Structure 1
């Protein structure tokens, strides 16, 4: 039972809660905008920045590696902001191309590293069990700033703020929990709660995420399996079950009308913001 010690799992759980605090509201915006794979593309680009910095200057300074990761993600966000404005009808396809291109470059760069396979595995599933108090402090400050931006500004409408803040969050997250868990934390809870009442949607999504992280951490400790993969494998079935229960509880009450569409007008709910759109 030593594996279930809070000294081991406590920091990882705190990291998971911090990630969910930002990824759940941002994931709702991503889902509403229909750009589902933007998170995994930006995560892959941020990971590419980490790999590039490590291969080129890893022995010099960890700050250089972080600068490479942030620069890569922000550059990608600038490109996506421009394409979202100019080519919105093919934005999802462009995101997919960026993901594939970044992944291919990452594999090429890792071919020059003696520990390339291990590094690639770490970037995919993360090292959440090894998170340090300093890392928790840093990502806590970053996430707090982005949450303040989400609360006070309408990120769903302001492309530059959305893509910029999103890039910074993904860059911080991917180095702790990996590409797979970043995508799962953003999309899975939001997808499961799309039929829940708007006022409860984020709360329910957050709790689904908490269940996935707690269950995955416990399963990883007991079964001695990779933590990131375990969290994903608990989160997805839990979210699927929650989606079914939500649909049965709330789906029929709206008679097939999506939440937010009432009285002949369409409304989009983005966190604390409620915006009215003309039909």
Structure 2
């Protein structure tokens, strides 16, 4: 058991860093009703990574720059569309995800390792995280949280999209598109009836339990780590949401 914990420790730390920024972002997303923004910007970042791959520019910093540039372009486009066409913003967000995903498939169509690349972009490789991989993620997380809570950039539409681009850029490279979305929405959904502080605390707890149990199950039963963590986050939400909803209705 101790050996198992040592193996998953860096992956669990990566999950906690992703949750640190994504739980408050998720609560704000639910308030604004733009549910698919995270998965759309994650797909923009993935497209940037695909472009770096097909151009054979795959050093860590170039891949990071490509992912962030693509996510920033996506954030700017979605910020513009919300200003011009707010009534169809959710449709535009969903369409941007489908288009960028399709572009990634087309770019990798003739790559012999294209299927593997797409799989890693979607479900990630969190179980194989190393401590040194977490330093950039930790730096971005601190920057996002400082701007979110300290500078209150969440109240600015442009700031909101910029922080999303920053948070997603590193997270998608480690945990993949699916887990980025699940980390954003599922804990926030579970605690949507809670106040600010209690909601954050419970959201972090649900997320941590989902990541921890998912990583252990992945290790013990040789299951894809990203997929099983998503399922465990969903299970936690399915248990907690009705309990909190019932408690509120009887209060």
Same fold (TM over 0.5): yes
Greater shift in the superposed pair: 242-251 or 143-152: 242-251
**Distance in 1, Cα, partners of 2:134 & 2:182:** 20
**Distance in 1, Cα, partners of 2:150 & 2:196:** 18
Partner of 1:273: none
Partner of 1:89: 87
Higher RCO (CA 8 Å, separation ≥ 6 residues) = 2
> Structure 1: where are the runs of 5+ without partners?
254-279
Partner of 1:52: 51
SS at match of 2:192: coil
SS at match of 1:194: coil
Partner of 1:109: 107
Between structures 1 and 2, the one with greater strand share: 1
SS at match of 1:57: coil
Per-residue Cα deviation, 1:48-72 (whole angstroms, up to 9, x for no partner): 110111111335x332222111110
Partner of 2:227: 229
Partner of 1:249: 247
**Distance in 2, Cα, partners of 1:251 & 1:197:** 15
Partner of 1:21: 20
**What's the CA shift for 1:126?**
0.5
**What's the CA shift for 1:104?**
0.5
- Select which of 208, 215, 236 maps to 1:217: 215
Q: Over the residues paired in the alignment, what is the CA RMSD in angstroms?
A: 1.3
**What's the CA shift for 1:45?**
0.8
**Would the aligned equivalents of 1:27 and 1:190 in 2 still touch at CA under 8 Å?**
yes
**Distance in 1, Cα, partners of 2:84 & 2:150:** 27
**Distance in 1, Cα, partners of 2:68 & 2:154:** 22
**Distance in 2, Cα, partners of 1:165 & 1:156:** 8
**Distance in 2, Cα, partners of 1:189 & 1:115:** 34
**What's the CA shift for 1:196?**
2.0
Partner of 2:8: 9
SS at match of 2:153: coil
**Distance in 2, Cα, partners of 1:203 & 1:82:** 33
Q: In structure 2, do the counterparts of structure 1 residues 16 and 131 end up closer, same or farther at CA, with 3 Å as the change threshold?
A: same
Higher-Rg member (1/2) = 1
**Distance in 1, Cα, partners of 2:110 & 2:227:** 26
Q: Aligned pair count?
A: 251
**Would the aligned equivalents of 1:51 and 1:109 in 2 still touch at CA under 8 Å?**
yes
SS at match of 1:113: coil
Per-residue Cα deviation, 1:98-151 (whole angstroms, up to 9, x for no partner): 101100000001113111111111111101112122221111011001100011
**Distance in 1, Cα, partners of 2:117 & 2:132:** 22
TM-score if structure 1 supplies the norm length?
A: 0.87
- Select which of 123, 139, 155 maps to 1:157: 155
**Distance in 2, Cα, partners of 1:161 & 1:207:** 27
**Distance in 1, Cα, partners of 2:110 & 2:161:** 31
Per-residue Cα deviation, 1:201-254 (whole angstroms, up to 9, x for no partner): 11111101011001101110111000000101111011111001111222332x
1:35 aligns with 2:34: yes
Partner of 1:168: 166
TM-score if structure 2 supplies the norm length?
A: 0.96
